[in-house]
Amino acid sequence: MIVHLTFDEMADVAFIEELNDDSKELILRVQSHILDCTECKAMYDKLYALRSTADRLVNDGPMMQKSAALRFIRTLTDNFTLTQDRVQRWFDKVISETSELYLTVVKTQLGRITEISSLSSDMFDFGYALPIGARGSETHGVIDKTVLIDDNDTDNRVSVVDGNCLVVQFRTENFASPDPHILIVSDTGDVRCSKLSQNGEVFEARFYGLEAGEYRVYFE
Ligand SMILES: [Zn+2]
C-alpha cells in the first residue's frame, strides 16, 4: 500500500521558512516521494503555486500575507472535511481570484453586526449609488446598513439576521456547480466554509459569530 504524504508535510515544505535538520529531512522525503507519485506532486505543485502567488502579492502590496495563506490552507484541512479535489479547486479560485467579493463586517462591542459593505465584485453589482441597503430597507429615514442588494437582481443579497448571523443568498442560476460552496477568508486568515443550501430559486448560507473585519468571499 502506498503511504502518501500528508497535506501538512507538503504545506510545510512549500512554505518553508528556515532550513534546519528537521526541515531538510522533510524536504528530502517530500521531494523523493513526489518524484514517483503524480497524486501528491499535483497537490504539492498547487501549494507551491499558492506560495508564489502569496510572495508576489506581498511584494506588490500586502493583500495576502504569506502566513495568512498558510493559515488559510491549514484551516481548510483542519476544520472541514474537504476532498483533496475540492481543496485543489479552492486553490485555483484563490490563485485566479475570480468571482470574488469583498465584505466588510463592522460589529459593536456587544458583538452585533452593525454594518456590512461590499467593495467589488466580478459577478454581482452591489455598487448601488445610494448608501448601502437603502433600497427596500429604509424606514423613516433610518438607513439599514446590514443589507446589500444586487442592483440587477434583488434575489442576490447579503444581510444580517438578529444582529449576529450573516446570510448570503444568491439566485441558483449564478452557479454552474450543483453542489456549490462558499468560502470566506478574513484579513487575519481565518476561514469559514459552508455548503450553500437550496431554497427554491436561491442558494443560501449562514455564518454565525463572524468577527469584525474584511473578508474575501469565494464561490465554487
Ligand atoms: Zn503520494
- Going by C-alpha positions, the residue among 109, 93, 128, 57 that lies closest to residue 219 is 93
Examine the domain organization and report whether 171 and 122 are in the same domain.
Answer: yes
Domains in the chain, number: 2
* Domain-embedded: residue 149: yes
C-alpha cell at 46: 498547487
104 and 188 both lie in a single domain: yes
Q: Which of 69, 96, 123 is the last residue of a domain?
A: 96
Higher pLDDT, 142 or 7: 7
- Identify whether 34 is part of a domain: yes
Q: Residue 30 pLDDT more than 90?
A: yes
- The pLDDT value given to residue 193: 78
130 Cα: distance to centroid of ligand 1 (angstroms): 54
| Among 73, 96, 119, residue at a domain's last position | 96
User: Which pLDDT score, from 0 to 100, does residue 128 have?
Assistant: 54
**Residues lining ligand 1 (ion), CB within 5 A?**
4, 37, 40
Distance separating alpha carbons of residues 214 and 41, to the nearest angstrom: 33
pLDDT top residue among 163 and 54? 163
Per the domain annotation, does 119 fall within a domain? yes
Ligand 1 mean position, distance from CA 193 (Å): 26
From the list 52, 182, 162, the residue with the least C-alpha distance to 114 is: 162
pLDDT tops 80 at residue 29: yes
- Whether 173 is covered by a domain: the verdict is yes
User: Could you tell me if residue 1 is inside a domain?
Assistant: no
- Same-domain check for residues 109 and 209: yes
The DSSP result for 196-218, as a single string, is: PEEETTEEEEEEESPPSEEEEEE
Shared domain check, 115 and 187? yes
Tell which of 45, 74, 96 closes a domain.
Answer: 96
Tell me: do 82 and 129 sit in the same domain: no
Residue 52 has pLDDT above 70, yes or no: yes
CB 163 within 8 A of CB 113: yes
92 Cα to the center of ligand 1, angstroms: 20
Rounded mean pLDDT, 8-25: 85
User: How many Å lie between the centroid of ligand 1 and the Cα of residue 165?
Assistant: 40
User: Rounded to the nearest whole angstrom, what is the distance from the C-alpha of residue 180 to the centroid of ligand 1?
Assistant: 28
| pLDDT at position 37 | 92
Same-domain status, 120 and 207: yes
| pLDDT band for position 63 (cuts 50, 70, 90) | very low
Supply the pLDDT for residue 121. 58
* Residue type at position 192: R
Do 75 and 173 lie in one domain? The reply is no
Give the model confidence (pLDDT) of 156-200 as tens digits: 888 888 888 889 898 888 777 777 778 777 777 677 778 889 999
Name which residue leads in pLDDT, 83 or 120.
83
Domain that holds residue 70: 7-96
Across the range 8-28, mean pLDDT stands at: 86
